[in-house]
Structure 1
Amino acid sequence: MSEARRKAAPARKAKRHWALRALGWFLGLFFLGIIGGVATFFIVYQTTEIPDINKAFTTNTTTVYYSDGKTPLGSFYDQNRHSVPLAQIPKRVQDAVIAAEDRTFWTNPGISPTGMARAAINIARGEQLQGGSTLTQQYVKIMYLTQERTASRKFKELFIATKLSRSQDKSKTLEGYLNTIYFGEGAYGVSAAGDAYFSQPDPAKLTVPQAALLATVLNNPTIFDPEDKDATTKKRVLGRYQYVLDGMRQMGTITDAQYAQYSKAVPPLKKKQKSDRFKGPNGFLLDMARKELLRLGYDQDEISGGGLKVVTTFDVNKQKDMVAAATEKLPKKNRQNLHIGMAAVKPGTGELVAVYGGPDYLTNQLNWATLRGRPGSSFKPFAVAAALQDGKSMWDTFQGDSPIEIQGKKLRNELNTDYGTVNLLKATEQSVNTAFYDLVDNQMGDDGPSKVVDAAEAAGIPASKTLEDDRHNPSTVLGPDAYASPVDMANAYATFAADGKAAPVHTIKTVTNADGKVEVSEKRLEKQIKQAFPPDIARMVNFALQNVVEKGTGERAGQLDRPVAGKTGTAGGVAIEHRAENAKCDGCKEGDDTLTSWWTGYTPQLSTSVLYRAGKSGESDLDPFSSDPAFFGGNWPVRTWLAFMEPALEGLPDEGFPEPDDDDIKDSPTPTYTPPQTTNTPTNTPTSTPSNTPTNTPTNTPSSTPTKTKPTKTPGWPPIPTGGPTTAEPTRTPNQPAAG
């Protein structure tokens, strides 16, 4: 063997020795880590003490206040609790909850390894921690810990749950859980839940389907709300309910035949009457505040029992003024079927200072202040803003005669009135439909209606599928479909009052937790306030809408005796009670009825919108409630508005609007304005009647009060949705609504 080969062998031996040494170190550290982890777990486990039951659990009622932070508005729920021993809770009720929340409850160590892994992944990602995975963990969180979602709280929960599972009989844990878990509707524990949902406080008298539905709800009372009429929610509730029943079948609690019978549909509710705390108009305020808290990320458990102090934007005195106006200053005829929605917003802030959604929340949960309706001509100010942004002037002229042909259809003014050639200022003042058709559909290009939609959304009208679908509808400028609610309109007009600054409308000022920490404040909204329109454009819109009050369709609002701007709106169509007849006569009644009547008016300090509707679904005819030829926006809506605004503005300075630039309001040469001449058409004449139809011209000129035009005919009417508390909205309307 050569000397070179003899020297190579030791080198190979040294390399193998180094690899083995590295592996040995790695294994040593690995096992040391395991030993250290086990030792740490053992030490922490031994030193972890099960704390006293959370005494605050029974006292943490969330209280809601008016904007002053001192005057109570109310609270969300009677925190209904009634503990019963496990012996009085039948096995079917116990098994329903176990099947829903923790099917390995009787055998697991109180924690879920998969739940721990999910928590670790969330921590690593910086995401929000989720609730306990096992029934024991959920019980520990409720009774022994705070509701905070932090890593330290989560790991403490795991140790307490493990120790509790080893030191306490499982039956005792189940009893505590069944008497403390939140089921929604202010009900804590299965006894209170049975009473809230089925008027049955004795768990022993709950049926299998009733027990399964309660177990369905407790997972998340918001997303599994059995009263929600939304089709998606109903499907979700049924799916979860069937999941619970399937678990009970696997556990042997029910048979296959019983599962087949019970799983077809959820059992009917037999709910107790809501607490008087929701009685009257203020119930709508509490409901709106609750919904905003949900949007802010609070769950139902925190909202009802988190000990929160919620300060709303509602002004206690202005709220009283609004309720008085809406209940006292309205037509005397058949008030039971007449509905008023009102909302007042502080310009520049988006604070909703007063709302009237109806006389009694307990009687009818339809909030007429938040339900969208047809805005009619009250949508025209957005067309004015869009035109000014498009380079048009208030002194540009348009066709005021009726009819005007747009996309092959002849569209008309109220009473088929001829106004001659009018400028945009006069068209706005007198609410001339044909001039706005000419402006939007002829002079603003093919995307004129879309520009109106953009302006409306910039001002604060929420984007919606209905509005999106009408981006190419020639009648969009006349608000033919359910675009906006009084809350939306008050806030959108407030944008003009605030020199073009749009602020998100809201009802919550601050939320303070049980420890006194402010969790939510209005500072969250500062970045959302935007300059929606240049100040010069907003000022020109204000200028035009002040003319509406000074000598146009809203003259009555001038009684406020301070600078006021605003716009009327009236939308016509076929009332729900006339639709069957209309279908039989091939559209002979289209446009005969008034379906919505608006006045939205504002000062620099306050923007208020009033909407009148009629009938159970808000789709009945308003005309029988007024002695006028039609239920005009310039009459009762303005009267009701005045009854609120006069006391609401008392003591505030007589503030004027910022003046537009002198060059903008300097009247350019325009054709002389010709007094209107009215052309009466037969009542049932369709809008497609040739222009040479014989007419009769009266000698008198019409007043500034608007009337309705007949919309073009469309085939049939879809059924009116009655829906739940937030779903009653009108059907789509024909292409040309009546508007004034």
Structure 2
Amino acid sequence: MGRAEERRARQRRGRRAAGPSGIRRLFTWKKILGTFLGLCLLGIGGFIVLYLMIDVPQGNALAQEQSNVYKYADGSTLARTGEVNREVVDLAQVPKEVQRTFVAAENKSFYSDSGVDLKGTARGVLNTLSGKGKQGGSTITQQYVKNYYLTQEQTVTRKLKELVISLKVDRQMSKDDILAGYINTSYYGRGTYGIQAAAQAYYRVDAEDLTVEQGAYLAALLQAPSQYDWSSASDTGRKLVKQRWNYVLDNMVEEGWLDATERAAAKFPVPKDPAGAPGMEGQTGYLVEAANAELARQLVDQGAAADTEEALARIDRGGWTITVNIDKKKQAQLVRSVKQQLTSKLDPKEREVDADVQAGAVSVDPKTGRVLAMYGGVDYLKHFRNNATRLDYQAASTFKPVILAAALEDAAETQDGDPITAKTIYDGDSERPAEDNGREVGFAPPNEDDVDYGDVTVQTAMNKSINSVFAQMGIDVGMDRVMEVAEDLGMSGGLEAVPAQTLGSMGASPLQMAGVYATFDNHGKKVTPAIVGAAEHKDLTVDLPDPVGEQVISREAADTVTSVLTGVVDDGTARVSVRNNPARGEQQVAGKTGTSDENKSAWFTGYTPGLVTSVGLFGENDEPPHNQVPMYKAGGEPRVNGGGFPALIWAQYTFGAMGGVTEFDLETDQGAAVEPDEEPTSEAPPSESPSEEPTSEAPTTSAPPTREAPTTQDPTTEPPVSDEPTTDDPTSEPPPTETSEIELPDNPAAPGNGNGNE
């Protein structure tokens, strides 16, 4: 090796040896520690600067609150909310043990901490940066600062301000003053701010008269006021608020603030029903409540609020002008129809069960998704819960069209490999075990009145609402797929994919079912019923989504369902109340009845090409805790069926509100609207409940018959309707017009007690 090469080799060895040494020199532990300490000092310095720059601002204390204005679609005023319901009380007026329920619920270390929770704040900042929403773990001081000094916006800047101001407030104010501020500015639901307003709203007492059990409920309520309000909470919500109530009392015992013996004797204090506010009587309160709920969901979706509770609190603070899609004329027509076809026939003095019947209804334009009319109950000040939006009663057989839609969408086949169409033959015997590939799945539902139908077509099964057929069809399609289609059509998510769901055992609301059927009516394009048409606020722009969305099932599948559902009206469970209604004229109608097991709910959801309306009747105990109860013998009928009162309400409303006669534009070669069959006779058809022996007659597959309109009414002319606001109590409406006095049958479809869902 020459000298030059040797020198180059030594240089290469030197470079290799110097490499690791150089890295070590660059990243020594001293440099790493120094960098870390430097960053810490920089952070501390930055925080000191923030601390010096941020002063405790003037408290807003909700003093700038304004009213909300609600308008009908035509621009006329529906309602104007009053001032925020709040009243500040001194802490001395609140019993000591009640004060401590709030500390036990939110911040056990309140009396000893510095006013901030650094871990909780850091978690909140990270959640905000990552888009995960609302933080948790704030102290009472931080929550008071947010309520009293700051806005509810979810930004890093606001959270840092909250941290600094909380530290300063904790140094400047006593713990008692902070606690008083917290319980006086917090939102408790029912439009109330502060413990005094909440005590009155939930227990009809002043704050000074609250018991420790009642205080624990109000303290628990702050976590989720709308979800935990006992009067409207779901079963899950009631379970959760009871768990939190127990948590509060257990913490008090742990902290030595409550005797263990007294804790053991404590009983959950069920709150009183909401009293309602002046100006909210009649249907007004239901419409305002529904509009607020829809707007709150949108505020959460567009990031203007972290969750529904925060959004509702923001709406209740006022300053909004909200226009609803409600058509005042159609609203009056719907209210009148419920009165004339139902409430006028209920007499609680003669039949106790009549006091337990609740009605709800929603009417939707399928082309735009606008909610044109809504009936929430007899009076918002008399019945606290909106029957049009509640989700706690079974959908029953109004779910059967969803199963058929799933079968058609997937071109599903029977167990024998036959395509499922309107003409497909199924075994319609009662309690026939459903099978999957020759194996019984352990589900054999009875038909209504336990009737055996033998072999029937899918069309006949829909007309007569045969449970055993749709139980098997659900297995044929696959229950996972059926539930997926149900969610695509607008039913609540998370539906359990079990065969029993084929009976419509899931909860549903008239609002929800109106959306599902509006999607059928709109040829498979998703319709999400919209109550709010516009919402304006000086500090916020709200972009409302289009109620009509994408194609969720094919047009052919949707149109076939519509075609089949015309058979339910013309040759099925709705034929008496709807097909033979004198006001119908030549109008084409599709729809489905439903009656749940034990007669706790009864439905008719039906539609014309331009109007979809879902009517539900619900058995609810008139006395707290308002449990679900059967409606047998209500209105003097043995059984309340979907083809009775609900269909009668639907018919009077629809045939008065629809305008001119229209026909479905269907792209399908299946169903009742295709093959002509016999004309319906004028004789009284069989009852909705299939107690008679099945016949061998071929299923009706004709289009709705063409008939002369009754001489007493031109079906193309909408009957006169009162233009008076619909806030009136239905019992004080003007006398019905001549066209609304047509003699209609009194719930003819109600024999027997039956068994199984219809």
TM-score (norm 1): 0.71
The RMSD of aligned alpha carbons is 4.9
Paired residues in the alignment total 640
> What CA distance in whole angstroms lies between the structure 2 residues aligned with 1:483 and 1:139?
38
> What CA distance in whole angstroms lies between the structure 2 residues aligned with 1:480 and 1:432?
16
Deviation of the 1:153 alpha carbon? 0.8
> What CA distance in whole angstroms lies between the structure 1 residues aligned with 2:668 and 2:401?
19
> What CA distance in whole angstroms lies between the structure 2 residues aligned with 1:386 and 1:488?
18
Change in 2 beyond 3 A, CA 1:33/1:365: closer
Which residue of 1 is the match for residue 335 of structure 2? 323
After TM superposition, the structure 1 = structure 2 runs for residues 556-635 of structure 1, keeping only pairs within 5 Å, are: 556-557=580-581, 559-561=583-585, 563-567=587-591, 569=593, 571=595, 598-612=603-617, 616=621, 617=628, 619-621=630-632, 625=636
Among 192, 195, 201, the alignment partner of 1:190 is 195
Which residue of 2 is the match for residue 49 of structure 1? 55
Could you report, residue by residue, the CA deviation over 1:77-127 in whole angstroms, capped at 9, with x for unpaired residues?
863222233444454344333333333334433322222332343345443
Change in 2 beyond 3 A, CA 1:410/1:234: closer
> What CA distance in whole angstroms lies between the structure 1 residues aligned with 2:754 and 2:117?
59
Deviation of the 1:159 alpha carbon? 1.6
> What CA distance in whole angstroms lies between the structure 1 residues aligned with 2:105 and 2:174?
21
Deviation of the 1:167 alpha carbon? 3.4
Among 91, 97, 105, the alignment partner of 1:92 is 97
Deviation of the 1:623 alpha carbon? 7.8
Which residue of 1 is the match for residue 545 of structure 2? 522
- 1:620 aligned partner, one-letter code: M
Are the equivalent residues in 2 in contact too, given 1:496–1:539 (CA < 8 A)?
Answer: yes
Could you report, residue by residue, the CA deviation over 1:668-714 in whole angstroms, capped at 9, with x for unpaired residues?
8x9xx7999xxxxxxxxxxxxxxxxxxxxxxx9974443423599xx
Are the equivalent residues in 2 in contact too, given 1:711–1:735 (CA < 8 A)?
Answer: no
Which segment drifts farther, 210-219 or 135-144?
Answer: 210-219
> What CA distance in whole angstroms lies between the structure 2 residues aligned with 1:173 and 1:659?
66
Which residue of 2 is the match for residue 709 of structure 1? 690
> What CA distance in whole angstroms lies between the structure 1 residues aligned with 2:314 and 2:400?
43
Correspondence 1:298 to 2:308:
yes
Among 270, 281, 288, the alignment partner of 1:279 is 281
Correspondence 1:493 to 2:505:
no
Deviation of the 1:59 alpha carbon? 1.0
Partner SS state of residue 335, structure 2: helix
- 1:539 aligned partner, one-letter code: D
> What CA distance in whole angstroms lies between the structure 1 residues aligned with 2:26 and 2:553?
75
Partner SS state of residue 470, structure 1: helix
> What CA distance in whole angstroms lies between the structure 2 residues aligned with 1:265 and 1:600?
42
Could you report, residue by residue, the CA deviation over 1:348-386 in whole angstroms, capped at 9, with x for unpaired residues?
444333222321233334554445666676555456646
Partner SS state of residue 183, structure 1: strand
Correspondence 1:641 to 2:650:
yes
> What CA distance in whole angstroms lies between the structure 2 residues aligned with 1:216 and 1:194?
13
Partner SS state of residue 493, structure 1: helix
Deviation of the 1:52 alpha carbon? 1.7
Partner SS state of residue 145, structure 1: coil
> What CA distance in whole angstroms lies between the structure 1 residues aligned with 2:363 and 2:172?
58
Are the equivalent residues in 2 in contact too, given 1:572–1:708 (CA < 8 A)?
Answer: no
Which residue of 2 is the match for residue 360 of structure 1? 379
> What CA distance in whole angstroms lies between the structure 1 residues aligned with 2:397 and 2:76?
41
Could you report, residue by residue, the CA deviation over 1:488-540 in whole angstroms, capped at 9, with x for unpaired residues?
4332222222112232344444554550321x5124x66xx342432234334
> What CA distance in whole angstroms lies between the structure 2 residues aligned with 1:88 and 1:108?
25
Which residue of 2 is the match for residue 167 of structure 1? 172
Change in 2 beyond 3 A, CA 1:145/1:735: same
Deviation of the 1:485 alpha carbon? 4.3
Which residue of 2 is the match for residue 128 of structure 1? 133
> What CA distance in whole angstroms lies between the structure 1 residues aligned with 2:561 and 2:26?
84
After TM superposition, the structure 1 = structure 2 runs for residues 108-119 of structure 1, keeping only pairs within 5 Å, are: 108-119=113-124
> What CA distance in whole angstroms lies between the structure 2 residues aligned with 1:663 and 1:643?
29
Correspondence 1:72 to 2:78:
yes
Could you report, residue by residue, the CA deviation over 1:573-607 in whole angstroms, capped at 9, with x for unpaired residues?
766xxxxxxxxxxxxxxxxxxx7654433222211
- 2:540 aligned partner, one-letter code: G
Correspondence 1:177 to 2:182:
yes
Deviation of the 1:662 alpha carbon? 7.6
Could you report, residue by residue, the CA deviation over 1:467-506 in whole angstroms, capped at 9, with x for unpaired residues?
73326xxxx5xx5756654334332222222112232344
Are the equivalent residues in 1 in contact too, given 2:398–2:592 (CA < 8 A)?
Answer: yes
Which residue of 1 is the match for residue 562 of structure 2? 542
Are the equivalent residues in 2 in contact too, given 1:342–1:608 (CA < 8 A)?
Answer: yes
- 2:631 aligned partner, one-letter code: S
Change in 2 beyond 3 A, CA 1:124/1:260: same
> What CA distance in whole angstroms lies between the structure 2 residues aligned with 1:413 and 1:199?
46
Change in 2 beyond 3 A, CA 1:490/1:194: closer
Which residue of 2 is the match for residue 591 of structure 1? none
- 1:273 aligned partner, one-letter code: A
> What CA distance in whole angstroms lies between the structure 2 residues aligned with 1:179 and 1:252?
25
Larger Rg: 1
Deviation of the 1:433 alpha carbon? 6.0
Change in 2 beyond 3 A, CA 1:375/1:79: closer
Deviation of the 1:298 alpha carbon? 2.5
Could you report, residue by residue, the CA deviation over 1:124-175 in whole angstroms, capped at 9, with x for unpaired residues?
5443252672222222211221110100111111122222333344444333
Among 155, 162, 170, the alignment partner of 1:157 is 162
Between the two proteins, what is the percent identity of the paired residues? Answer: 29
Deviation of the 1:304 alpha carbon? 2.4
Runs of 5+ unmatched residues, structure 2: 1-9, 301-306, 349-353, 413-417, 435-443, 622-627, 694-751
Which residue of 2 is the match for residue 725 of structure 1? none
TM-score (norm 2): 0.69
Change in 2 beyond 3 A, CA 1:191/1:612: closer
Correspondence 1:658 to 2:677:
no
> What CA distance in whole angstroms lies between the structure 2 residues aligned with 1:658 and 1:621?
39
> What CA distance in whole angstroms lies between the structure 2 residues aligned with 1:615 and 1:21?
73
Which residue of 2 is the match for residue 690 of structure 1? none
Partner SS state of residue 56, structure 2: coil
Are the equivalent residues in 1 in contact too, given 2:117–2:138 (CA < 8 A)?
Answer: yes
Deviation of the 1:325 alpha carbon? 1.2
Change in 2 beyond 3 A, CA 1:117/1:557: same
Deviation of the 1:665 alpha carbon? 9.7
Are the equivalent residues in 2 in contact too, given 1:343–1:486 (CA < 8 A)?
Answer: yes
> What CA distance in whole angstroms lies between the structure 1 residues aligned with 2:121 and 2:115?
12
> What CA distance in whole angstroms lies between the structure 2 residues aligned with 1:342 and 1:410?
29
Are the equivalent residues in 1 in contact too, given 2:591–2:607 (CA < 8 A)?
Answer: no
Could you report, residue by residue, the CA deviation over 1:397-418 in whole angstroms, capped at 9, with x for unpaired residues?
7589x97894499988999799
Deviation of the 1:30 alpha carbon? 4.6
> What CA distance in whole angstroms lies between the structure 1 residues aligned with 2:106 and 2:598?
51
Could you report, residue by residue, the CA deviation over 1:220-264 in whole angstroms, capped at 9, with x for unpaired residues?
424544556656544543443344345544555444544444xx4
